[in-house]
Structure 1
Amino acid sequence: MLNPLTPEVLADPVALTRALVDIESVSRNEKEIADCVEEVLRGVAHLSVERFGNTVMARTDLGRAQRVVLAGHLDTVPLAGNFPATVDGDLMYGCGTSDMKSGVALALHLAVAAPEPRYDVTYFFYEAEEIDSAYNGLNLVAQAHPEWLTADFAMLLEPTYGVVEAGCQGTMRARVRTSGRRAHAARSWRGVNAIHAAGDLLRRLEAYEARTVTIDGCTYREGMNAVRITGGIAGNVIPDSCEVEVNYRFAPDRTEEQAQAHVREVLDGFEVEVTDSAAGALPGLAAPLAQEFLAAVDAAPVAKLGWTDVARFAALGIPALNFGPGDPMLAHAADEHVEIPKIRDGAAMLRRWLTSV
């Protein structure tokens, strides 16, 4: 297959976004897009390139005093009748247009077009961000090649609609079980209905009053919600078990341990098993490189409502921010799209930040 990422396409971040969207890369199927990105970057004289799985890393080594990371994930959620990309006026539709191939396009465009940045730059184009963290390309790199992640500042090109989103929420999932006694549905009084018993849990979650927390001027809104419920044996049997999956999004002033204690406190009296957890990241706005980037954007930052890999960098002591042209409200939607002027504006802003002296 001919690589669609031609020099003409790489020179135009809008055309590059469309070309990337038109390479299907649902999580765990990123080989084709990673191959195309790797081939392009290996042809760029000012970059050294490494690959681990379907994660491609390229870096400058110009002897600059500071190093920054620009990172974007190559995978998307499953297609929803929105492939390949289409354009309607100033809108580009398609799976991944917002989350986050328009952001990936900015990084890839700059990797090729900015040979003399004022910082040394490490570019990551990584796999499997949209699924379990065990497959996440940055997580795998952190285990196998932690030295690749060394930097003074990191930028995740996640969808932020062209504003800076600082830090991120933590996230926790838990299974909450109720039990009962099985019986024939025609003689239901002989049993105890475990699904009915979950009603108390659901009412408790419905009445839950979530915190709103402001840190460094950024306001994080928490939430604790039932996101899945399973139970029942057959259409004529009173169920003896029910399981509710609960997702808790917590502000970054709470550790994972504190978040788990809070979940157990709220759900006291129920059997709770925490199945997945990831810490959030504080805004990190005081870092000098973050201040330089904010000055280039010339707009007040807001909180990132969601988890992103800024948390991974924050855990390493590397301040990190989110910035990208996509609209986070459109991520994963069937009508996912990106505004073309946001792509152009984002590319121009990042170029000014990376290349101005």
Structure 2
Amino acid sequence: MSLESLTSDALELLKNLITTPSFSGEEDETAALIRKWLESRDIPCEQIGNNIIAKNAYFTPGKPTLLLNSHHDTVRPNKGYTRDPFKPTEEEGKLYGLGSNDAGGCLVSLLACFAYWHKQADLSHNLLMVASAEEENSGPNSLRGILQDLPHIDVAIVGEPTEMHLAIAEKGLVVFDATVTGTPSHAAHPNADNAIYNTIAVLEWFRNYSFPKVSETLGEVKLTVTQIDGGKQHNAVPAHVDLVLDVRVNDCYTNAEIAELLQQEAPCPLRPRSLRLNSSSIDPGHPLVLGGKALGRKTYGSPTLSDQAALSCPSLKMGPGLSLRSHSADEFVEVKEVVEGIAIYVDLLERFLKPERFG
């Protein structure tokens, strides 16, 4: 299969994916499209839930394995759309449609790259392609849910929009529920322990709090209060106000350490929802990173979460598109970004899978 024909086929697949709704947990139709795309190119694959899995033709037990992964589920379109989110429209080099940027362009680029290398022999690593489901909601049937069914993974490339630069680290996430208490009362009577007023000082504490350890790659841990809920009627002071905190964790801390620190110091009770979405990284001297830098790609730390959080191996986040477009109204990816992305993926894997060609 020529790279030119694979690129054309990948763009056609992307349009078909946009046409087909694939909200998290409802990806069966896009799973069928991906499976058909692979099988039509004589690439055997299997399906677990709505995850599509394929191995290269010369997959050899005992050889290290490189995972290529991106997701085919999407968020639901927001109310700001002025276009049909399920109608792939190409205008002035931009391909519009829900999931085009996050992460359809990445997914079809990795599929094309995998197809290019599928039947080539004497590679340094096995290749494992996983088009995963439920990434957007970190669901039980996501990549995390099928890891026990996959071969051992030694290193991974996770396809997310990074402008094809190298996200060599990714922040983790802990969501906390917090409660600020007070004395419930009738609004007509004096109350020096109003939970809503008590919340003011708590919000100020969270706004001014900083974690001492700063990462060279990922910067500071970022704490943001994202939700607040208190009171049900105009004439009653509530007994408590509920807050939600979003904490993006750098690679200086584990999520468990963040939870312990905040629970000790915060001026109100905190309950972490989960501690499993830890930060991810890859050594800046890893051959994948060095190969990408040789191709002119830059390294950086990513503040956003992806399926990297499911992996315990070194992982690199990299893909066509721009992260700021993700989940936005009238989402798009530039066609040239996908074309260039496929070429860069193929060149990167050539340096990684055939290192003898580069001395």
TM-score bin, normalised by smaller chain: 0.7 to 0.9
User: Secondary structure, in 3 states, of the residue corresponding to 1:135?
Assistant: coil
Alignment correspondent of 1:206: 207
Q: Distance in 2 between matches of 1:190 and 1:203?
A: 21
Alignment correspondent of 2:31: 34
Instruction: Classify 1:83/1:74 alpha carbon distance in 2 versus 1 (closer, same or farther; 3 Å).
Output: same
The amino acid across from 2:252 in the alignment is D
The correspondence for 1:85, drawn from 85, 88, 99, is 88
Alignment correspondent of 2:244: 245
Contact 1:191 1:238 in 2 (8 A): no
Alignment correspondent of 1:4: none
The worse-fitting range, judged by mean Cα deviation, of 176-185 and 223-232 is 176-185
Alignment correspondent of 2:297: 299
Q: Any gaps of 5 or more consecutive residues in structure 2?
A: 355-359
The correspondence for 2:113, drawn from 89, 93, 110, is 110
Alignment correspondent of 2:357: none
User: Secondary structure, in 3 states, of the residue corresponding to 1:249?
Assistant: strand
The amino acid across from 2:222 in the alignment is G
**Aligned runs of 1:334-349 on 2, under 5 Å?**
334-349=329-344
1:266, CA displacement in angstroms? 4.4
Q: Distance in 2 between matches of 1:149 and 1:68?
A: 10
**Aligned runs of 1:59-78 on 2, under 5 Å?**
59-63=55-59, 65-78=63-76
Cα deviations across residues 281-301 of structure 1 (Å, max 9, x unaligned)?
133333334433443x33231
Contact 1:182 1:191 in 2 (8 A): no
1:66, CA displacement in angstroms? 4.1
Instruction: Classify 1:38/1:300 alpha carbon distance in 2 versus 1 (closer, same or farther; 3 Å).
Output: same
Instruction: Classify 1:142/1:333 alpha carbon distance in 2 versus 1 (closer, same or farther; 3 Å).
Output: same
1:57 is the counterpart of 2:53? yes
Q: Distance in 2 between matches of 1:18 and 1:109?
A: 15
User: Secondary structure, in 3 states, of the residue corresponding to 2:279?
Assistant: coil
Q: Count the aligned residue pairs.
A: 338
The correspondence for 1:20, drawn from 14, 17, 20, is 17
Q: Distance in 1 between matches of 2:44 and 2:264?
A: 51
| C-alpha RMSD of matched pairs (Å) | 2.4
Q: Distance in 2 between matches of 1:72 and 1:209?
A: 33
1:136, CA displacement in angstroms? 4.5
Contact 1:86 1:92 in 2 (8 A): yes
Cα deviations across residues 102-154 of structure 1 (Å, max 9, x unaligned)?
001112223334433444311101110111x34252111024x1xx1423321
Q: Distance in 2 between matches of 1:88 and 1:221?
A: 39
Q: Distance in 2 between matches of 1:48 and 1:15?
A: 20
1:274, CA displacement in angstroms? 1.2
After the TM superposition, which segments of 4 or more aligned residues of structure 1 sit over 6 Å from their partners? 7-10
Q: Distance in 2 between matches of 1:320 and 1:202?
A: 36
Cα deviations across residues 209-250 of structure 1 (Å, max 9, x unaligned)?
4668344xx343421010111111212211111110011111
Q: Distance in 1 between matches of 2:328 and 2:211?
A: 25
Q: Distance in 1 between matches of 2:160 and 2:141?
A: 15
Q: Distance in 2 between matches of 1:169 and 1:328?
A: 14
TM-score, normalized by length of structure 2?
0.86
The amino acid across from 2:109 in the alignment is L
Alignment correspondent of 2:235: 236
Q: Distance in 1 between matches of 2:113 and 2:273?
A: 39
Cα deviations across residues 315-352 of structure 1 (Å, max 9, x unaligned)?
2xx22101111211111111322222211111111122
Alignment correspondent of 1:154: 156
User: Secondary structure, in 3 states, of the residue corresponding to 1:276?
Assistant: coil
Q: Any gaps of 5 or more consecutive residues in structure 1?
A: 1-6
The worse-fitting range, judged by mean Cα deviation, of 81-90 and 203-212 is 203-212
The amino acid across from 2:223 in the alignment is M
Q: Distance in 2 between matches of 1:21 and 1:263?
A: 42
Q: Percent identity?
A: 22
Instruction: Classify 1:63/1:283 alpha carbon distance in 2 versus 1 (closer, same or farther; 3 Å).
Output: closer
The amino acid across from 2:161 in the alignment is P
The amino acid across from 2:95 in the alignment is M
Instruction: Classify 1:157/1:124 alpha carbon distance in 2 versus 1 (closer, same or farther; 3 Å).
Output: same
The worse-fitting range, judged by mean Cα deviation, of 235-244 and 110-119 is 110-119
User: Secondary structure, in 3 states, of the residue corresponding to 1:87?
Assistant: strand
